[in-house]
Amino acid sequence: MKKVLCIAVSFLIISIMTSCLPGGISGVAPDINGHVIDATSLAPIENAHIKYSRGKYTKETTSDEDGRFSFGSMIQWHYITYLGSPGLYPFPDRINYDCIAIPALVSVNARGYIPKTVSIYVGGGEIQDGKLKKPKTDYKFDDDIIVKLSKK
């Protein structure tokens, strides 16, 4: 009886594992690099708290001694699972994504300075007259972002 139960459980586990199609990765945001400097003296600001957010995705870091900060690209994994007859998979439905522009926000906060938030264009926009209309932002993702903070 133990042997039959073990074989049945093994078969169930293998069936479930083979029903998963390989996962995929999609980028949520590209690399973001920049500097935090004093607005008056243009000196770098060390240990500033920087928060990147776009939709529900967020990352946080601090600036180094040269005022530099960097956010590596953010990714998400996708998995597709199908439960049904072994070897038979349904034809996947097509998924059409609207071209939605959600600008990324970089918020900077440092001791003794007024906090500041800048917006970054990372892709998307509205299609108008056959052309992509991009939202107004402070920077593009491939710019070197320079955030100037004013003292309190």
Contacts of 93 (CB under 8 A, 6+ apart): none
Query: Which token pair is 122?
Result: 């990372």
In the chain, the domains with their CATH numbers are: 20-82+96-149 (2.60.40.1120)
- Residue 118: count other Cβ atoms within 10 Å of its Cβ: 18
- Is 146 or 98 the better-scoring residue by pLDDT? 146
Euclidean distance between the first and final Cα of the chain, in Å? 76
The Cα 44–Cα 39 span in angstroms is: 10
pLDDT in tens, 27-42: 555 678 899 999 999 9
With left for phi above 0 and alpha for psi between -120 and 50, is residue 8 left, alpha or beta? Answer: alpha
> What are the backbone angles phi and psi of residue 17, rounded to the nearest 5°?
-65, -35
Q: What's the predicted TM-score (pTM) here?
A: 0.61
Q: For residue 138, name the pLDDT band (cuts at 50, 70, 90).
A: confident
Q: What element of type H or E holds 37? A: strand 32-38
